[in-house]
A = this chain, B = another copy of it.
Amino acid sequence: MFEWFKKRRATIVAPRITPRKDVEVTAEKVNLKDMSPDAVSLVGQVAYFELAVFESLSRAVSEAPDLESKEGLSTVAGEALEKHHGLVAILRSLKADPAEAMAPFASDIDRFETLTQGRDWYETLVGVYLTAGFLNEFFLALAVSLPPKHRKVVKELLESDRTADVLVAAIRAGQEADPTLASRLALWGRRLMGDTQLVARSALRLSDNASDNASRLEPVFTDLVGSHSKRMDALGLTA
């Protein structure tokens, strides 16, 4: 019974983060390639971001309300750490020192993590689910600029894994136990998007022509915001 209940919870379907093919098409369609940073900068930024996600998730492991959630979140924290270590390995193969490659992004991402940490365990989980969902999809779109060999590995690392399922199940279980949680989390989910989009924009090399930037980036951000709405739906929240 207990096992069956867990299995049932695990099958709550989280929306797939935009499938890889579509992302690639979008990125190529709008020619994002020349707006992408160089390989070491891109991989360095994503590597530091995944380390920050790992840190948020390991705090969530420590603060989990019960052992079953602790156990599930430890798997999710492990997945973020694997992403980080996989990206560090790419930096090494690019002959870059990982600490040096990540350093330029540390203070901005640390500030972002502080802003998106939330006031309690559920806000932390919603923060990770929505911001990492958004930024992983964005970084995947930029990965078109990487050499094919590294691009393949980055895609394998960033593509959806157990993380979304575990987070969605935990957040929905919280809302079932406390129906007042939903409105607070919906507000929180909307507030997160401003800072998240700023992090995404900071990764781009924009041209001096603001209206050219805007017209080229708009379709990408429209897609990303669409995926964000699907994630909010998966949480039963209004975007």
A positions within 8 Å CB-CB of B: 2-3, 51, 54-55, 58-59, 61-62, 66-68, 70-71, 74-75, 77-78, 81-82, 84-85, 88, 97-99, 102-103, 106
On chain B, the residues within 8 Å of A78 by CB distance are: 78, 81-82, 85
Contact of A58 among B61, B71, B82 (CB under 8 A): B61
| A61→B75 CA distance, assembly (Å) | 17
Residue in B66, B71, B82 whose CB lies within 8 Å of A98: B71
State whether A62 touches B55 (Cβ < 8 A).
Answer: yes
Chain A interface, >50% SS class: helix
Q: Known interface pairs A74-B51, A74-B54, A88-B71. Does A66 touch B3 (Cβ–Cβ under 8 Å)?
A: no
Cα of A110 to Cα of B172 in the assembled complex, Å: 27
Residue of B nearest to A84 (CB): B74
Which 8 A-B residue pairs are closest in the complex by CB-CB distance?
Answer: A58-B58, A67-B99, A68-B99, A55-B62, A78-B81, A67-B103, A71-B99, A71-B98
